[in-house]
Amino acid sequence: MPGGPPPRVVVAGGHSAGHIEPAMNFADALRRLEPTAEITALGTVRGLDTTLVPARGYPLELIPPAPLPRRPNRALLQTPGRLRDSVRAAEAVLDRVRAEVVVGFGGYVAMPAYLAARRQGLPIVVHEANARPGVANRVAARMTTHVFTAAPSVRLAHATAIGIPLRPAITRLDRPALREAARRRFGLRPDGPVLMVTGGSQGARSINAAVSGAAAALRATGVQVLHITGPQHVVEAPDRDPADPPYVIMPYVDEMQYAYAAADFVICRSGAMTCAELAAVGLPTAYVPLPLRGGEQRLNAEPVIAAGGALLVDDADIDPTWIETTLIPVLTDPERIAKMSAHASAAGAPDADVILAGHVLTTVAEQRSIASRGSE
């Protein structure tokens, strides 16, 4: 920050990629706005914290996990003691790094971080990526007025909708410019519709079975397929002649911007990050919500579906017949795909990372101003 010491920020968003990824994207944006910023991530040994956070280049401080049960059970009786230990550990980290603000994204690590920040009188900034907020963010939203959400429909106290922090590789993606190179990368033809299939990082058995079962119908209508199965799933490559449209099978793709650039349409689950990324790049999608967690994934997809940029199909209804009778007519209609792409783009929010980073810097500046006046 001009003329002052670097801002000292602690981010808390652990366990799953859905919490960690927006936290790291925010941290990257903060560094772009203020290169001197000292950013520390809080995490636990559970989940993906120790893998994903160091890979992004940020120091990680571990505290004991304190998961909050969704319903009364034996684990609930152990929660107060675990949470107390976790809050104390979080306070020790805040003291050690001389934190000026805590920015939370939910997950196991968020609740102790919020409580530790409140005990120390530090400002709290909350971001909720999901359509249905978790327990930690619902509690924290009543501790602070600095609350941000993915969409206006998210019910959270003091909320301002800004979207989800995404990587510049996604938000700045020029799909038409990268299209030819991206298709070459995956062994796809430069012309003809491409359907991208993915079930997220772990894959989705129902989606895999439906699309692979419709391989002959897709081939007959000239549709190419980029099928990302997930590392734990095996999909047999369909029989095809060299003259047939490619059906490319991959267990995992590291740099998803290339897959997005190669595709004309996507069929996938509707996790919050997936919905945000596909809207940001303007990709029409058929969403198949995970039929668990109280229908949360269906809620994530609703804004872009309402905007006309996506289709919705229940997990119980996704099968080769649905692909043949409902999806293929869309895939082979360039005019409809173009309209859906425009509607998807209109539902996107590509600058959430910068908006959130700017607000956090403003919050630190205001806190310093208050402290300065108090010392006069």
Binding residues for UDP-N-acetyl-alpha-D-glucosamine: 16-18, 130, 167, 201, 297
Tell me the C-alpha distance between 77 and 347, whole Å: 43
3-state secondary structure of 40: strand
Q: Residue 234: how many CB atoms within 10 A of its CB? A: 10
- Residue 225's DSSP bridge partners are 195, 247
**Beta strands 194-198 and 265-268, pairing class:** parallel
Q: In this structure, are residues 166 and 278 in contact, taking their beta carbons and an 8 Å threshold?
A: no
Residue 239: CB atoms within 10 Å: 10
DSSP state of 293: G
Contact 309, 279 (CB under 8 A): yes
Smallest CA-to-CA distance from 273 within 234, 301, 292 is with: 301
Find, among 207, 245, 242, 244, the residue nearest to 227 by Cα: 207
Cα–Cα dist 42/64, whole Å: 10
Element (H, E) at 79: helix 74-97
Judged by phi (left if over 0) then psi (alpha if -120 to 50, else beta), residue 21 lies in alpha
Binding residues: 16-18, 130, 167, 201, 297
Other C-beta atoms closer than 10 Å to the C-beta of 64 total 19
Report the C-alpha gap between 104 and 107 in whole angstroms: 9
